Amino acid sequence: MKTYVVNGRLIDGTGSPARELQWLEMEGGRISAISAGSDAPPLPPQAQVVLDAAGKTVMPGLTDAHCHISYGVARGIEEQDLFGSAEYRAIRGVYHARKVLQAGVTSFSDPGGSWYVGVAVRDAIRAGLFPGPRMSSAARYLSTHTALTDYFPSWVGAPRSGVGAYTESASAMLAEVRDQVKNGVDFIKIAASGESAIMTPGGGSVPAFRAEELKLIVDEAHRLGRRVTAHARAGQSVADCIEAGIDWIQHADFMDAACADRLAEANIPCCPALTFVANVAEWGHLVGCSQGRIDRFRRDLDLAVKNLDYAWRNGVTMMCGTDSGFAVTPYGQWHARELELFVSLLGMSPLQAITCATRNAAFTVDPNNLGSLEPGKFADLLVIDGDPLQDIRVLQDPARIAAVLLDGEPVDLTPMPEPHRWPWERSMAISERELYRTTVGAAAKEAAH
Ligand SMILES: [Zn+2]
């Protein structure tokens, strides 16, 4: 049966200017025809109208190119890597995925996490067990002991529940790629650079793999029909990823102009994921981030803006992703903030930012079927009460989400409560602070007042 969305302002996600929507026809979960512009054909008689979007904006559902569904609103690395079982994480993941969908995000890419939680959540949604966005998923990040994911002291070792898979030899790299493909990943994630604990003399993070190792991983994944992305912040690790033929890159915030030029030339898209960094820099003080972390993230953000501003103005394709899944980026809350940051920090127009969160970001999930409103693509729509071209921030306001359609069907937008947090999700900590005799004395004094 053919159904119709009528009227409103159409932003189709291809980067074309907004047009006046006459009608958008859907059949079998896909868009079958669109009539837009002032001299467009009129609505067929007796058309089954499911939504009148007069005064609203009709656009593709957003794609978040960087959302970790297994992290579970983690407040720290122990919570991300150690506590909470695989089973609990998977069940929690499907709950959170629905929150993502209700925020107007009809698809997202999970660039790595613990166990095969992302794959399981993807399959549970695809099987119709739970409502949620379309997903593509990686599994544990292929890592070395100088990579981002090696958070714990060497004498503790790498926990099996952690997000890193340690591949210190060529044969281990091949084995891990094959194992992940066997277990159903859509793409491979590499932790190609370290974190600031191991800095290069220039101040960037250290490249975690040799160039030929990256090439081996990418070649093996491609041979098995899977794509590859990498966390790469340092310039050298970005350059090595380009040489290796990586499909898209995450962050790239410490790359210089020459490296950005090579990224543009190789036509490799980039997902900076600025939201995570900006949330800590701007609001970390509200949620107990240390001043040291806030200061460092501010410096990182300034540097990222300088480098990425050059990159997109010189031809690098940018994709919106948020690093949602941490306590500073809970599911369903900040997915559209990346568009605001692209506008306010990188100087994009709202329309350019929307293209980054639709057509460009859809590259990480299913570029042939998603990312724009065109005949043949999935009828995944976001209808906003407002004009994001006037104010890009309206996309972040739940009250402005008039409708979300997935496969042409309206999504239930009934608000979901934040789930209860269990003490064992966090750590085995006994207290938050120290109980000195003076602590008790001060409390007694306070009570007496
Ligand atoms: Zn991430």
Q: What is the 3-state secondary structure (H, E, C) of 44-69?
A: CCCCEEEEECCCCEEEECEEECCECC
For the stretch 261-310, pLDDT in tens is: 999 999 999 999 999 999 999 999 999 999 999 999 999 999 999 999 99
What average pLDDT does the segment 59-75 reach? Answer: 97
pLDDT of residue 202: 52
CA 66 to ligand 1 centroid distance, Å: 6
For the stretch 359-389, pLDDT in tens is: 999 999 999 999 999 999 999 999 999 999 9
When pLDDT is cut at 50, 70 and 90, the band that residue 200 belongs to is low
CA 110 to ligand 1 centroid distance, Å: 8
pLDDT of residue 431: 76
pLDDT of residue 434: 85
When pLDDT is cut at 50, 70 and 90, the band that residue 199 belongs to is low
CA 124 to ligand 1 centroid distance, Å: 22
What average pLDDT does the segment 408-427 reach? Answer: 90
CA 330 to ligand 1 centroid distance, Å: 13
pLDDT of residue 198: 52
CA 209 to ligand 1 centroid distance, Å: 18
For the stretch 76-123, pLDDT in tens is: 899 999 998 999 999 999 999 999 999 999 999 999 999 999 999 999
What average pLDDT does the segment 404-408 reach? Answer: 98
For the stretch 127-163, pLDDT in tens is: 999 999 999 999 999 999 989 898 888 898 889 999 9
CA 316 to ligand 1 centroid distance, Å: 20
pLDDT of residue 423: 80
The length of the chain is 449
CA 335 to ligand 1 centroid distance, Å: 13
CA 67 to ligand 1 centroid distance, Å: 7
CA 273 to ligand 1 centroid distance, Å: 8
Domains of the chain: which residue ranges?
A: 62-335
d(CA 175, CA 401) in angstroms, rounded, equals: 45
Task: Classify domain 62-335 at the CATH class level.
Answer: alpha beta
For the stretch 201-246, pLDDT in tens is: 555 578 899 999 999 999 999 999 999 999 998 788 999 999 999 9
